[in-house]
Amino acid sequence: VFNMFKGLVGQKTITAEAMAPVLDKMRDHLIGKNVAADIADQLCTSVATKLEGRVLGTFSGVTSTIRQAIRDSLVQILTPKRRIDILRDVMEAKSQNRPYTITFCGVNGVGKSTNLAKICFWLVENGFRVLIAACDTFRAGAVEQLRTHARRMAALHPPENHGGVKMVQLYEKGYGKDAAGIAMEAINFAREQHIDVVLVDTAGRMQDNEPLMRALSKLIKVNQPELVLFVGEALVGNDSVDQLTKFNQALADFSSMENPRLIDGILLTKFDTIDDKVGASISMTYTTGQPVVFVGTGQTYTDLKALNVQAVVNALLK
């Protein structure tokens, strides 16, 4: 029936010229939401390529067609291609009598140690025993910071509530020592003590700092953690792309391995500080193709959430 009217309404195809002003606005809009400029460009370009020459739906204009296409792209970028199910994987490792290890890495001050503590709390609440490995042996107070968290969580989950076993312990060797070595000792300790999970805290480092990036690569290479989490803050702007690219690059280049361990997932922190400027989530997932495994939404142990893709996309397009 609709075919009959086609000629009457006039088939309109979408041209590059018609799209250009709308896409320009869209790009600025996304940048205003803190999507990195390059990524906003690439997104718009790919939508343009996809739509050019297409027949416009009878009841839709160029603007709404573009909006929908952008929405689809955003949803796709944020939707994990691969599910990371930590609780399941911890269970599996446990059944094989080996500890499950997560390494936290990222630039300075983004929230590695705090969110490590939140994940520790979450694991303990799920009945797993955790060992925190204090492998930031550089930054002043880093060890005491973790000790405080370990003590607090141990108080929330005392052995008497858990059949006499310590649910949270700290493995530390003070400052100035080799981080990779401490991580290894901690993992061995966990294996001997039948501790389920080892959470490895590392020092913050700038992605361009070659000696420090080499040291991180070594830590990951020699310890082969089950999960490498990149911790990035939702506040970060255009640097997000460079951070992730260079962390991955360093893990690949400095490992001298055929199949090096790269970043497996992203922990996006300080999500409570950015209102609707949620674009960093796009920049980070687009750059790596890896999912946002957790979102940090505050400074207490329970401020750890899963990413709500629809809510983020709505905020981006609002």
Partner 1 sequence: MVLADLGRKITNALRSLSNATVINEEVLNSMLGEICRALIESDVNIMLVKKLRENVRASLDLDDMAAGLNKRRMIQSVVFRELVKLVDPGVKAWQPVKGKSNIIMFVGLQGSGKTTTCTKLAYYYQKKGWKSCLTCADTFRAGAFDQLKQNATKARIPFYGSYTEMDPVVIAAEGVEKFRQEGFEIIIVDTSGRHKQEDSLFEEMLQVSNAVSPDNIVFVMDASIGQACESQARAFKDKVDVGAVIITKLDGHAKGGGALSAVAATKSPIVFIGTGEHIDDFEPFKTQPFISKLLGMGDIEGLIDR
Ligand X SMILES: Nc1nc2c(ncn2[C@@H]2O[C@H](COP(=O)(O)OP(=O)(O)OP(=O)(O)O)[C@@H](O)[C@H]2O)c(=O)[nH]1
Interface residues with partner 1 (CB under 8 A)?
Answer: 28, 31-34, 36-38, 107-111, 113-114, 117, 138-149, 152, 206-209, 233-240, 242-243, 246, 270, 272-275, 277, 279-280, 299
Rg, Å, the chain Cα set? 23
Nearer to partner 1 among residue 253 and residue 272 (C-beta): 272
Binding mask 202-231 for ligand X (x = CB under 6 A): -xx-x-------------------------
> From the CB of 213, what's the least distance to partner 1, in Å?
12
Q: Which does 296 bind (CB under 5 to 8 A by kind): partner 1, Mg ion, ligand X, none?
A: ligand X
Nearest approach in angstroms of CB 302 to ligand X is 11
Could you tell me the CA-to-CA distances from 305 to 89, 118, 138, 300 in Å, in that order? 19, 10, 29, 12
User: Of 19 and 105, which has the nearer Cβ to Mg ion?
Assistant: 105
289, two tokens: 């193709």
Of the pair 237, 260, the CB lying nearest partner 1 is at 237
Residue 292 near which of ligand X, Mg ion, partner 1, none (CB within 5-8 Å, type-dependent):
none
Distances (CA, A) of 28 to 52, 77, 90, 175: 21, 19, 43, 46
Q: Which of 2, 60, 57, 51 is nearest to 23 (CA)?
A: 51
**Per CB under 6 A, which of residues 51..70 are in contact with ligand X?**
none
Here's the x/- map for Mg ion, 111-150, by CB under 5 A: it reads as: -xx-------------------------------------
Q: In what order do the strands lie in the sheet with 265-269?
A: 168-171, 130-135, 197-202, 100-105, 227-233, 265-269, 292-296, 304-305
Considering only 243, 269, 281, 288, the residue that binds ligand X (CB under 6 A) is 269
In whole angstroms, how close is the CB of 305 to ligand X at the nearest point?
9
Tell me if 222 sits within 8 A of 262, measured CB to CB.
no
Packed helices 280-288 and 37-51: angle between N→C axes, nearest 10 degrees: 70
113 forms part of the interface with ligand X (CB under 6 A): yes
Of the pair 34, 65, the CB lying nearest partner 1 is at 34
Which amino acid is residue 41, in one-letter code?
A: D
Q: How many residues bind ligand X (CB under 6 A)?
A: 24
Query: Inter-axis angle of helices 210-223 and 239-253, to 10 degrees?
Result: 60
**Which residues lie closer than 8 Å to 19 by C-beta, 6 or more apart?**
48, 51, 52, 62, 66
Q: Which is nearer to ligand X, 112 or 261 (CB)?
A: 112
Pick one of 56, 270, 290, 294: the residue that binds ligand X (CB under 6 A).
270
